[in-house]
Copies of this chain bind each other. A is one copy, B any other.
Amino acid sequence: MTAVIHPATDQSPQSPASALVCRNCGASYPLGAQHACFECFGPLEIGYDAERLSRVTRESIAAGPHSIWRYAGLLPAGQNAATRVDSGTGMTPLIRADRLADRLGFTAPLWVKDDSANPTHSFKDRVVSVAITAARELGFTRIACASTGNLANSVAAHAARIGMDSIVFIPSDLEAAKITQTAVYGGKLVAIQGSYDDVNRLCSELAETDEFESTAFVNVNVRPYYAEGSKTLGYEVAEQLGWRLPQQVVAPMASGSLLTKVHKAFKELQSIGLVDPLDYRVYGAQSSGCSPIAVAFETGSDTVLPVKPTGIAKSLNIGNPADGPYALDAVRSTGGAMAHVNDDEIRDGIQLLAETTGVFAETAGGVTTAVLKRLIEAGSLDTSRETVIYNTGDGLKTQDAVSDRVGPTAVIAPTLKGMRAAGLL
A91 interface residue per 8 A CB criterion: yes
Q: Whose C-beta in chain B lies nearest to the C-beta of A93? A: B88
One of A30-38, A40-48, A305-313, A415-423 contacting the partner: A415-423
CB distance from A84 to the nearest CB of B (A): 14
Interface centre among A88, A172, A408 (most CB of B within 10 A): A408
B121 near A396: Cβ-Cβ < 8 Å: yes
Q: Which residues of A contact B (CB under 8 A)?
A: 1, 66, 87-88, 91-93, 95-96, 98-99, 114, 117, 119-121, 156-161, 163, 167, 170, 172, 176-177, 179-181, 183-186, 188-194, 198-199, 201-202, 205-206, 209, 211, 350-351, 354-360, 394-397, 399, 402-403, 406-416, 418-419, 422, 424-425
> CB distance A183 to B413 under 8 Å?
no
Interface secondary structure of A, over-half rule: mixed
Minimum CB–CB distance from A350 to chain B (whole Å) comes to 7
Query: Nearest 4 pairs between A and B by C-beta?
Result: A161-B358, A88-B93, A183-B406, A157-B358
The answer for the CA separation of A87 and B159 in the assembled complex, in Å, is: 30
A206 to B417, CA, bound (A): 11
Query: Given the complex, which residues of B lie within 8 Å of A412, measured CB to CB?
Result: 190-193
Contact A395–B99 (Cβ < 8 Å): no
Q: 22 A-B Cβ contacts within 8 A?
A: A66-B91, A88-B117, A117-B117, A119-B359, A120-B360, A157-B359, A157-B360, A161-B357, A180-B399, A181-B360, A181-B399, A183-B406, A184-B355, A186-B355, A190-B409, A190-B422, A191-B408, A192-B418, A199-B414, A209-B416, A209-B425, A211-B425
A68 CB to nearest B CB, Å: 13
Please state if A206 and B160 are interface contacts (CB–CB under 8 Å): no
Known contacts A198-B414, A396-B397; can you find 14 more A-B pairs with CB under 8 A?
A: A66-B66, A88-B114, A99-B163, A121-B121, A121-B396, A158-B358, A170-B408, A176-B399, A190-B409, A191-B412, A193-B411, A201-B414, A202-B414, A206-B419
